[in-house]
Amino acid sequence: MQWLIDMAKDAMQSVLDDYFSFTTRVPGVGPAKGVADFTQDTNWHTIDMSAFIPSGSKVALLQIAVGAAGAGPIFWIDRTTETNEFTPFTIKVQTPWESYNDQFLLDVSGGRELRYKITAGTFTWIYLEVLGSFK
């Protein structure tokens, strides 16, 4: 009977490995994307993250740090296939010259291009790093 338990355990582990394997991105020098990589206006733009998110990934773990000389700038980021204005990850500078940092998961099953929008001011720094991804 143990052979049946072992077989079921191996099959379950195989399924988990296939669907939920986390790949850590080996960090390069500096962030994946910096402030110069982002257009700072009130429109949606796309940014290609294929150099940082492996092909076939379903979810990416990202880390962001932002700051500005003045209060108010808002940074929104989401998958390019999303059309709902209320679903993007959002980070806002509320106090000048303070760093606002966060980590978040983002669905990338529809592609490794992301969309972003920056409103209500200008960021002095933006650091977007891909920490890893799930396949």
Q: What is the pLDDT of residues 44-88, one digit of tens each?
A: 999 998 888 888 888 888 999 999 999 889 999 988 777 666 678
pLDDT confidence bin for 112, thresholds 50/70/90: confident
pLDDT confidence bin for 96, thresholds 50/70/90: very high
CB 98 within 8 A of CB 125: no
Mean pLDDT, range 119-126, rounded to an integer: 85
Mean pLDDT of the chain: 83
> CB neighbours (10 Å) of residue 131?
15
Q: Is 133 exposed, middle or buried (0-12, 13-18, 19+ CB in 10 A)?
A: buried
Predicted TM-score of the model (pTM)? 0.76
Domain spans, the chain: 2-134
CATH tag for 2-134 (out of 1.20.1630, 3.30.1340, 3.30.70, 2.60.120): 2.60.120
